[in-house]
Amino acid sequence: MRALDRVERLLGQLYGKHEGTMAFERIRPLMASAAKRLPPSTTERLPDEKEIVLITYADTLRQPQQPPLSTFYTFAQRYLKQTVSTIHFLPFFPFSSDDGFSVIDYMQIDPAVGSWDDVHAFKADFRLMLDWVINHISAQSPWFDAYLAAEPGYQRLAIEVDAAEDLSMVTRPRSLPLLTPYKKKDGRLVRLWTTFSADQIDLNFRSIDVLVDMVRVMLAYVEHGADILRLDAIAYLWKEIGTTCIHLPQTHMMVKLFRAILDAIAPHVLLITETNVPHRENISYFGDAGDEAQIVYNFSLPPLLLHCILTEDVGYLRRWAKTLVLPDRRTTFLNFTASHDGIGVRPLEGIIPSEEIDKLVTVVMANGGAVSYKQNPDGTESPYELNITYVDALRGDGAGGDAMHARRFLATQSIALVLPGVPAIYIHSLLGSRNWDEGVRMTGRARTINRAKLDMNDLVRRIENPETFRYKVFSAYRTMIEVRSAQPAFHPKAEFDVLEVDRRVFAMARQGGGQRLIALTNIASDDVTVDVGMLAAGPTRDLISKRVFAPGVVTMKPYDVLWLTPA
Q: What structural domains and CATH numbers belong to the chain?
A: 297-486 (3.20.20.80), 495-566 (2.60.40.1180)
Q: Report residue 399's pLDDT band, with 50, 70 and 90 as the boundaries.
A: very low
Instruction: Pick the range with the lowest mean pLDDT from 56-60, 245-249, 327-331, 507-511.
Output: 327-331
> In the chain, how long is the greatest CA-to-CA distance?
82
Residue 381 binned pLDDT confidence (cut-offs 50, 70, 90): confident
Do residues 195 and 236 lie in contact, with contact meaning Cβ atoms separated by under 8 Å? yes
**What average pLDDT does this structure show over 442-465?**
96
DSSP 91-136: P-S-BSSGGGTSBS-TTS--TTT--HHHHHHGGGT-EEEEEEE-SE
Q: What is the DSSP letter of 512?
A: E
Residue 395, CA distances (Å) to 32, 149, 357 in order: 54, 53, 18
> Distance from CA of residue 447 to its chain's centroid?
15
Please give the distance of CA 181 from its chain centroid, rounded to a whole number.
Answer: 32
- Point out the least confidently predicted range of 164-168, 325-329, 461-465: 325-329
The residue that leads in pLDDT, 40 or 458, is 458
How many Å apart are CA 31 and CA 383, to the nearest integer?
Answer: 43
| Active-site entry in 131, 232, 291, 341 | 232
- What is the pLDDT confidence band of residue 373, given thresholds at 50, 70 and 90? confident
Residue 149 CB coordination number (10 Å): 12
Separation of alpha carbons 535 and 516, rounded Å:
8
Tally the residues of the chain: 567
Beta bridge partners of 289: none
Q: How many C-beta atoms surround the C-beta of residue 432 within 10 A? A: 24
Contact criterion met (CB below 8 Å) for 77 and 42: no
Q: Is the pLDDT of residue 322 over 80?
A: yes
Query: How would residue 380 be classed by pLDDT, with cut points 50, 70 and 90?
Result: confident
Average pLDDT estimate for 451-456: 97
Question: pLDDT tens across 263-275, in order?
Answer: 999 999 999 999 9
Whether residue 400 is predicted with pLDDT greater than 60 in this model: the reply is no
Whether residue 403 is predicted with pLDDT greater than 90 in this model: the reply is no
With a CB cutoff of 8 Å and minimum separation 6, the contacts of 204 are 156, 157, 158, 159, 210
Percent share of the chain, pLDDT over 70: 99
Asked whether residue 180 carries a pLDDT value surpassing 70, the answer given is yes
Over range 468-493, report the average pLDDT. Answer: 97
Sheet holding 515-522, edge to edge: 495-502, 505-512, 515-522, 561-566, 540-542, 548-549
- 444: alpha, beta or left? (left if phi > 0; alpha if psi -120 to 50): left
Is residue 48 among the annotated active site residues?
Answer: no
* pLDDT exceeds 60 at position 51: yes
Count Cβ atoms below 10 Å from residue 486 Cβ, excluding itself.
10
Q: How confident is the model at residue 46 (pLDDT cuts 50, 70, 90)?
A: confident
Band the pLDDT of 45: cuts 50, 70, 90: confident
pLDDT of residue 397 exceeding 80: no
Question: Looking at residue 1, what is its pLDDT?
Answer: 59
User: With b meaning 16 or more CB within 10 Å and e meaning fewer, what string describes 350-381?
Assistant: ebbeeeebeebeebbeebbbbbbebbeeeeee
